[in-house]
Amino acid sequence: MEEILLRNVCRWEILEYLDRLEFIEVQDGFYRRGEIEIRLSETIKKSLSSIKIDETKIEISGQQELVEKLLKEIRFHFLRAGG
């Protein structure tokens, strides 16, 4: 299980991206494409100055080569988008 943390990325942006990658939501917050499964959870933390930082954790499990390919796609997308 590998985890990547994306800061300041809106949940809808991730959902839109997963849709473009042809993932299907099988339960609330749980997506699947072939053997790759993604579970999304969103945690909002408040700093001392009351600034909210959205952190979205994406947990991916499945066949190692598929996981690595998806991680590369996600990283490329969010690095390009400035995430």
Domain at 68, CATH number: 3.30.1370.80
Pairing mode, strands 24-27 and 2-7: unpaired
DSSP bridge pairs for 54:
44
Which residue type occupies 37? E
pTM over 0.85: no
Instruction: Count up the domains in the chain and report the number.
Output: 1
Q: Is the pLDDT of residue 54 over 70?
A: no
- CA–CA separation, 67 vs 35, rounded Å? 9
pLDDT (tens digit, 9 = 90+) per residue, 10-33?
A: 666 777 777 888 888 888 777 888
- Residue (of 76, 68, 4, 72) closest to 40 by Cα position: 4
Residue 2 near residue 67 (C-beta atoms within 8 A) = yes
Range of the domain at 22: 2-80
- CA–CA separation, 63 vs 71, rounded Å? 12
